[in-house]
Structure 1
C-alpha cells in the first residue's frame, strides 16, 4: 500500500483542561490568560457560571484567549448557577462555592439531573457545608456556605473522578489541609491532569504511595496557559485514519500531554495502525483494515471506548472492551446506547455491567440514536466512513457540546465523509 503524505487535523482545545483552568483562574487573585480554549456548549456554560459566581470574564473577539480575573478566595455572594448539560460544572463548582459564603443553587438540564451527585454532596457535608439534593428540590444541588474546614475524608470515586477533582481544586481555599483517601477510583488520568494543573497554578499538593492525597491551604497564582488539543476528540480522526488507510497528524498533542485519552492511540496500534507519538504531535496511519481478536481494559480512557466500539464491526475478529461500568452514568448509558445502535444496524453486540463485545459484520442502513450524547454521534460518524451511505444520525447537532465544527472538519479531512442525516441539508 502507498501511504499518502498526510493530513493535519484541526482539533479544538481540551474540554477537561479548559474547564479546570477556568476554575483555577477564578480561584486565583489577579488575571489569568487561558489561550486556545475549547469554545463549545460545555465550556461556555462553565465560563458563564464562573461569571455568575463573581469572577471577571472577558474574551478576545475571535475567542483565541479568555481572560479570567479571579477572586483569590471562594465566592462571597450567593448565586443561582445554570449548568445546562455540563457535568464538570455540576461537580467542580459546588466545592468552590462551598469555600465562600452565601447560598448557591446549581441547576441543569434533565439529562444532567439524572447523573448522580450524592458522593460529592456527602463529602461536602463532611467538610462542614450544608447541602441539599433531596428529591423534590428545585435544583441539582443547593449549598449553604460558610467556608470549608478541610480535614481527612474518604471518597467513593467509582462513579466518576470529577467529584474528587472538584474537591481537590477547592482544597487550597479551605481553612486546614484536605486529606483524601480515595476508594475505587475510575479514570485516574483525569486526576493526574487535575493535580498537574493545580501545581501549575501554585498549589501545594503531595501524594503518597498508598494514593493518599494532601492539599495544603494557600493562594493560587495567576498563569498564562495554552490549552492543548482535546485527546478524546482526537480519537475520532485517529480512528478515521485507521479505517480509511489515511495518515492524520494532530499537532500540539504529544508525549508531554496532560490527557490520558491520548492512550487511545496505543489501542489503535492493536488494530494494526501505525502510531507515532512525538514530543509535539501524534500521527496515525491506517491500513484501511482493522485487526481484532483482543480484549482491552479502557476504564482509564472510557471517553474513547465508544470510538473503538463503533469501528469494531470493521475488524476481522471480535473486540471486547472492559472496565467501563461508569460509562453507564455519563450523558447516556453509553454501553447500552452503543450496543443498541450496533444491533440496529445488524451487528452482533453483547454487553455486561462493565463490558461490551462487538463482532465483525457489514452494517445495514440505520438512523443512529444519539441520546443527545456528543460522543455517540461522533463515534458512529467514523463508522460511516467505513460503511458509506448507511449511517445517519438523529441528532447531528449534539456534537456542539464539545466540537461544534466536527462535521465540517471530518468532511475536510475525508472527502468521502457524508452528511450524517437522511437526505440533503446544511451542516449543523
Structure 2
C-alpha cells in the first residue's frame, strides 16, 4: 500500500483469526549500535539483518558524512569500510527524530577533529540531552547544547581525556550506551559510573550495547552495580548478524491473541535478546493481564500493552513509565488520549502512572476515533490493534511507521487485515 497517498488510514475489523507468515524487520537498536561500532573499527565489517528505516538511514547518512564507506549488498546486508577515524563533516549532522543516532553520535564525534553540529527535527529539539553533555564535559570534551536539547555543538579534538565519568541516566539509558561505546576508544581504561540509585530504565539496552561492543573486540567488566570498566582496546572489524526487532514483534503478538490467530514468524521469537522480548509473556496472559505492570524495562512495549489492556477482563495500572514522557512524544499522554478517543473514560493518568479501565465489551463496538499519532510510530502501530476489534478506528499520519517498521501496513494486509482511506 502506498501510505504516502493516505494522510489517514482506517483499520477494518477482522472477522476471524489472523494467520500468515511474516518477516519482521531487523532491530533498530542493534542496527544503529552496530553501524556506529563498525564505523569506529578499522577495516571492513559486514552487517546482516540490517533494518532500513528513517532512524537507521539517518545514522548511516551521518557516518558517510564523516568518511565511512557504506555499501548496500542487498535489502538487509551492508558492508562498512572505515579507517577507524571519524572526519569532521562539512555540514551539520541532521538526525531527524532518531534518539539513538543523536545520543550515540553526540559522544562518538568527540573522536573527530574539528567542529561537529548534531541536530534534528522539531521533535528531537525537545528531547533532553543535557546529562550526556555534562558527562562529556567531565571527560574534557568541548560540547554545548544551549537549550539542553539538540542542536549540540562538539569542538572535537580527536579524542577525550579522563578515566572516570559519572552519568545521570534517569531520563535515558542511551546516555550510558553512548559513553560506553566512546570509552573503548580512550587513551586509558575508562570507568563509566551511574549517578544516583541505579534505578535506570531500559537497563537491558545497556546489555545490548555491551554485546555489540564485545563482538567488535571491546573488553568490558562490571566491578560493581552501576559501574562499567571499559578497557583501551578500540574496535576491530567484524561480521555481525542483527536479530529481528522485538518491539515490532509486540504488535504482531498482540494481534495474535486478540484475534485468536497464529502468525508464522519464520524464526524462534523466544530467542530474541532485546528487552521488549520480555513483553511476550505479558501479552500471552491476555485477557487476564496483571493488575500492575512495571514498564520500566519494556518501555517501547508499553503502548502495545496499554491498548491490549483496553480489551482485558480487568483494569491494568502501568507504573515505572515516566521516561515515556520524553520519547518521540509524551507517550503516556498520547496513549491515554488515544484510549479515551476509543471510549470516553477508558484511561486516565495518575502522576506518571497510566490506568487503563478494561472493557471487554469494546470488542465489536463502533467508535469514531481519529488517533493523533503525534508523528510517533509506536502510537500509530499500537492503535492499529484497536482497529482489529472495533469499527471506526482511524490512524492519522500512518506513514510515521517508517521510523522503525516501514512495511508495517503491508504486513497487516498480508495477514488479511483490511485498510481503507476514511
Q: TM-score, normalised by structure 1?
A: 0.88
Residue among 361, 365, 373 paired with 1:370: 373
d(CA) in 2 for partners of 1:218, 1:168: 12
Q: Provide, for residues 70-120 of structure 1, a one-character-per-residue CA deviation record: whole Å limited to 9, x for no partner.
A: 232444666521111111111001211102321111111010000001011
1:241 aligns with 2:256: yes
Matches within 5 A, 1:121-200: 121-135=133-147, 140-146=151-157, 147-183=159-195, 184-200=199-215
Q: 1:136 to 1:401 in 2, by over 3 A?
A: closer
Quote how far apart the aligned CAs of 1:4 are.
Answer: 7.8
d(CA) in 1 for partners of 2:255, 2:60: 32
Verify the 8 A CA contact 2:129 2:148 in the aligned structure 1. no
Q: Provide, for residues 291-336 of structure 1, a one-character-per-residue CA deviation record: whole Å limited to 9, x for no partner.
A: 2462111110100000011122211111111111000000000000
1:80 aligns with 2:80: no
* 1:104 alignment counterpart: 116
Verify the 8 A CA contact 2:67 2:86 in the aligned structure 1. no
d(CA) in 1 for partners of 2:71, 2:191: 35
* 1:353 alignment counterpart: 351
**Helix, strand or coil: the match of 1:110?**
coil
d(CA) in 1 for partners of 2:33, 2:105: 10
d(CA) in 2 for partners of 1:253, 1:55: 34
Verify the 8 A CA contact 1:324 1:354 in the aligned structure 2. yes
1:94 aligns with 2:106: yes
* 2:10 alignment counterpart: none
* 2:44 alignment counterpart: 31
* 2:288 alignment counterpart: 291
Verify the 8 A CA contact 1:196 1:258 in the aligned structure 2. no
* 2:245 alignment counterpart: 230
Q: 1:293 to 1:151 in 2, by over 3 A?
A: closer
d(CA) in 1 for partners of 2:183, 2:237: 17
Quote how far apart the aligned CAs of 1:355 are.
Answer: 1.6
d(CA) in 2 for partners of 1:31, 1:179: 29
Quote how far apart the aligned CAs of 1:360 are.
Answer: 2.1
* 1:300 alignment counterpart: 297
Quote how far apart the aligned CAs of 1:178 are.
Answer: 1.5
Quote how far apart the aligned CAs of 1:250 are.
Answer: 2.5
Q: Provide, for residues 164-222 of structure 1, a one-character-per-residue CA deviation record: whole Å limited to 9, x for no partner.
A: 11111111111122211113421001000000111011101111242310101113111
Q: 1:252 to 1:69 in 2, by over 3 A?
A: farther
Higher RCO (CA < 8 A, seq sep 6+): 2
Verify the 8 A CA contact 2:282 2:289 in the aligned structure 1. no
Verify the 8 A CA contact 1:203 1:219 in the aligned structure 2. yes
d(CA) in 1 for partners of 2:133, 2:148: 16
Verify the 8 A CA contact 1:120 1:163 in the aligned structure 2. yes
Verify the 8 A CA contact 1:53 1:75 in the aligned structure 2. yes
Residue among 55, 64, 78 paired with 2:68: 55
d(CA) in 1 for partners of 2:148, 2:214: 40
Verify the 8 A CA contact 2:68 2:86 in the aligned structure 1. no
Verify the 8 A CA contact 1:229 1:252 in the aligned structure 2. no
Quote how far apart the aligned CAs of 1:153 are.
Answer: 1.7
* 1:274 alignment counterpart: none
**Helix, strand or coil: the match of 2:336?**
helix
- Count of aligned positions: 397
d(CA) in 2 for partners of 1:81, 1:293: 44
Q: Provide, for residues 360-417 of structure 1, a one-character-per-residue CA deviation record: whole Å limited to 9, x for no partner.
A: 2326220100000000000000111121x2211111110011111101101111x244
Matches within 5 A, 1:323-338: 323-338=320-335
**Helix, strand or coil: the match of 1:29?**
strand
Verify the 8 A CA contact 2:18 2:259 in the aligned structure 1. no
* 2:7 alignment counterpart: none
Q: 1:247 to 1:360 in 2, by over 3 A?
A: same
Q: 1:71 to 1:258 in 2, by over 3 A?
A: farther
